[in-house]
């Protein structure tokens, strides 16, 4: 099978798996790992943009200049992207640690609920919800009665 096709599929798969992790998972740390996977896929795609099979690394060893060298520009860009990815990962994990300390959980649904409750409490308003929500309807009717 064609090497290029395999590498392209790997980049495609990493991007898709990372997105799935971000969208589908309800655990905060898994979401962060999804971001890391997505980054890996994007980096691979960037490297593949000018990939040619058989090209050697753009490095001169012992004064011998290789016939066909790989493009150094995407490699330098990906180096930058990896470092920035580490920064994002570290910041996201410290934020997750902070959330865990504040709410005692990393479940995104629970965090969202408590966050909305906190914001509503702080603003002194009732927690807004859909008019179709059965609990909210019941409580409103009680209030009118």
Partner 1 sequence: MRRLSSALFLLGLGLLIAAIFQTMEFGSVAPIAGQAINAVAAEQVGAANFVTSVVLAYRGFDTLLELTILFTAATAGGLVLGKPGTGAPRDPDSGFILRAGADLFFPLLLVVGLYIILHGHLTPGGGFQGGVILASAFFIPILARPGTTMDHRWVSMIEGLAGAGFILIGLLAMLGGKEFLTPLLDKGELGALLSAGSLPLLYIAVGLKVGAELAGLLARLSETEAID
Q: Does 145 bind partner 1 (CB under 8 A)?
A: no
Q: Which stretch binds partner 1 (CB under 8 A): 67-75, 110-118, 119-127, 134-142?
A: 67-75
Rule CB under 8 A: choose which of 75, 114, 115, 136 binds partner 1.
75
Spatial distance between the Cα atoms of 22 and 117, rounded to a whole number of angstroms = 24
CB 106 within 8 A of CB 99: yes
Q: Read out DSSP for 95-106? A: HHHHHHHHHS--
Q: Which stretch binds partner 1 (CB under 8 A): 17-25, 110-118, 120-128, 135-143?
A: 17-25
Query: Minimal CA–CA distance to 4: which of 53, 42, 40, 43?
Result: 53
Give the torsion through C-alpha atoms of 25, 31, 37, 38, to 10 deg: 90
Please give the residue ranges that form the binding site for partner 1 (CB under 8 A): 2, 4-5, 8, 12, 15-16, 19-20, 23-24, 48-52, 57-63, 65, 69-76, 79-80, 82-84, 86-88, 90-91, 93-95, 97-98, 100-101, 104
């Amino acid at each position: 099978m064609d090497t290029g096709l395999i590498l392209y599929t790997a980049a495609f798969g990493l991007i898709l798996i990372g997105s799935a992790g971000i969208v589908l998972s309800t655990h905060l740390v898994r979401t962060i790992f999804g971001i890391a996977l997505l980054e890996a896929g994007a980096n691979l795609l960037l490297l593949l943009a000018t990939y040619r099979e058989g090209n050697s690394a753009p490095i001169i060893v012992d004064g011998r200049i290789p016939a066909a060298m790989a493009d150094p520009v995407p490699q330098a860009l990906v180096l930058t992207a990896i470092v920035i990815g580490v920064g994002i990962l570290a910041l996201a994990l410290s934020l997750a640690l902070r959330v865990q300390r504040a709410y005692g959980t990393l479940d995104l649904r629970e965090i969202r609920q408590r966050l909305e409750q906190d914001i509503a409490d702080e603003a002194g308003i009732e927690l807004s919800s859909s008019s179709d929500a059965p609990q909210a309807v019941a409580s409103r009717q009680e209030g009118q009665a």
